[in-house]
Amino acid sequence: MNVALVTLGCKVNQYESQIYRENFKNNGFEIRDFGESSDIVLINTCVVTKRAEKESRNLIHRSLRTSQKVIVTGCYVEKDNETLKEKFPQIEVVKRERLLNNGYFKKKVNKIHNFSGHTRAFIKIEDGCEKFCSYCIIPYLRGRVKNRSSKEVLEEIEGLVGNDYKEFVLTGVDLGAYEGLDNLLAEIEKIKEVKRIRLSSLEPKEISSSLIDLLGSNQKFCPHLHIPLQSGDDRILRLMNRDYSLKDYTALIEKIRKKIPEICFTTDVMVGFPGEDREAFSNTVRTIKEIGFSKVHCFRYSARERTKAAKLANQVKEEEKRERAEATRLSAEEVSRKIKRNFLRKTLSVLVEGKKRNGHFFGYSEHYLPVLIEEEVGVNQIIKVRIGNLKGDCLVGSILC
Ligand code: SF4
């Protein structure tokens, strides 16, 4: 029997799909690429926005046309499996817990040994979130905070370095809620073959002084942090039930920059949140410029059932959201280019991930900056690259011999 897997959503979902992939293999299934005809398709869904929910349904329609059996799991199932069963009576709906821990696979694998289609390995160390940001449906679907044992995480990473993985991206639904994160990072750093350790995303209030000191103490910790801002306006941050003010956020950035001057920051912002007027929106755009993010993921607010924000007054029109998202994207790109120009004539370490369509080899620097390499190079190696130029959103450089 053969199976194809397709995944929507966050790094945690992608990690869990790798667990499913290895479990199928371990139970005698051949793994096929999604889109090829296969006996079974497993769809790992996401419902963080209306758009993701629609994409999940589109994947189900598409898979029902190419495969005898369609298994659906992930956040759509956690959110509303009854509706799914009604809409698609022919599919098999399986809760995540059952696939991960409760007897779906006879021979069970609970660690990943590879990360299909990736040069950098995502490592799930935490699940769940108890913050209940007013726009977010995730706490209702992923439940309370759960930590993986550090022993299991370290064994997993040791297995992956054996398969030649060099960079490890620690991830979770609320990564910073992991108890003993500093200790775990210090243990991972001790593994000789581990070359890079990256943190996928941290909430502002979860970044302690000891963590900043640790990240600044060793070159294995990548000088890059993704810290969701969401809004540059205090009134909106309160409506979002975010636990920091803009002043807290900017003070944190300054504190980290003092300890790690060359660090790059990326972030998430949400535009069109209920009650966001022109002034609040311009506070967000101004903050993006003042902080200087190397990349901004901009989301249009999408009302989710069960969330407090969905019931708020002053919902913003879709057209207005689109305009704000476009304005944010343009501003953020300009800021990003300015940040990237600081790296011209500098030498960066780049983990080569493969070839871009334009024929250039490509990878990310330790700061998580995208770099095109002029020469032919081997994939999955870390090389020194002298940056000579900026092309679109990528730095361009040549190998330092
Ligand atoms: S921290 Fe907020 S946005 Fe992130 S998963 Fe938790 S509730 Fe959602």
Enclosing domain of residue 222:
120-341
Pairing state of beta strands 67-74 and 92-93?
parallel
Residue 99: per-residue pLDDT: 92
Gap from CA of 63 to ligand 1 centroid (Å): 30
* Shared-domain flag, residues 37 and 169: no
Specify whether the CB–CB gap between 150 and 181 falls below 8 A.
Answer: no
CATH of residue 362: 2.40.50.140
| 136 Cα to the center of ligand 1, angstroms | 6
| pLDDT value of residue 359 | 80
- Judge whether 173 and 202 are in contact, CB under 8 Å: no
Task: Please tell me whether residues 56 and 160 are part of one structural domain.
Answer: no
Please identify, among 341, 360, 383, the residue that sits at the C-terminal boundary of a domain.
Answer: 341
| Same domain flag for 186 and 62 | no
- Cα of 61 vs centre of ligand 1, distance in Å, is 30
- What whole-number distance in Å separates Cα of residue 388 and Cα of residue 199? 28
DSSP bridge partners of 397: 373, 387
CATH code of 48's domain? 3.40.50.12160
Q: Does residue 132 line the site of ligand 1, with CB under 6 A?
A: yes
The list of the chain residues with pLDDT below 50 reads none
Q: Is residue 25 part of a domain?
A: yes
- Quick one: tokens of 331? 């501003």
pTM: 0.96
In terms of domains, do 86 and 160 share one? no
Q: What is the pLDDT of residues 125-159, one digit of tens each?
A: 999 999 999 999 999 999 999 999 999 999 999 99
What's the pLDDT at 36?
A: 87
Distance, in Å, from the CA atom of 22 to the CA atom of 352, rounded to the nearest integer, reads 25
Q: Is 253 among the domain residues? A: yes
